[in-house]
Amino acid sequence: MGDYLIFGILIILLMLSTKQIMAALICTLVFVAIVMLVLKGRKAKVENTTCTLYEKKAVYKTKDKEKVIEYKDIKDIGYYQTFSQKIFNIGDIRIYPDSGILITAAINMTNVRNVKEEYEKVKEIIQKQIVENR
């Protein structure tokens, strides 16, 4: 999303610099509408998503699917932030399983608020449960 924001802003600035005010205005309105629709869709997805940490497993549920990873099968946990996510203090927390295709088998919690603090909480819980369940 961050790359698209930068691209949209550059297009608008380019039109303004070439004195195409009407085109810049229309482009700005279309750009803002697209960003709002994307953000509304992401908000709806986040509101319908849960990640519950049970005694022996982590369960990630979205509207369409459910992923379960037992603590004994967790290989790694990490968090990541894109440029735009850093601006808004959000990010993604990923829990990687020990086996399987990491991209499809991982639990990916997207756009988590205060990602560093939440990551530390999740990491502490998971590491504690890994030690207790091995």
What are 31-67's pLDDT values in tens digits?
A: 788 878 877 777 777 677 788 888 888 888 877 788 8
On whether the CB atoms of residues 132 and 73 are closer than 8 A, the answer is: no
Residue 87 neighbours by CB distance under 10 Å: 11
* Residues of the chain above pLDDT 90, percent: 7
Q: Which CATH architecture group holds 49-133?
A: Roll (2.30)
Which helix (H) or strand (E) segment is 11 a member of?
A: helix 2-17
pLDDT at residue number 134: 63
Task: Specify the amino acid at residue 100.
Answer: G
Q: What is the distance between the alpha carbons of residues 82 and 132, in angstroms, rounded to a whole number?
A: 34
Each residue of 99-124: pLDDT tens digit? 766 556 688 888 888 999 999 998 99
Domain residue spans in the chain? Answer: 2-45, 49-133
65: left (phi over 0), alpha (psi -120 to 50) or beta: beta
Q: Which two tokens stand for residue 63?
A: 């509207």
pTM: 0.65
pLDDT at residue number 47: 72
* Residues of the chain above pLDDT 70, percent: 88
Residue 18, strand partner residues: none
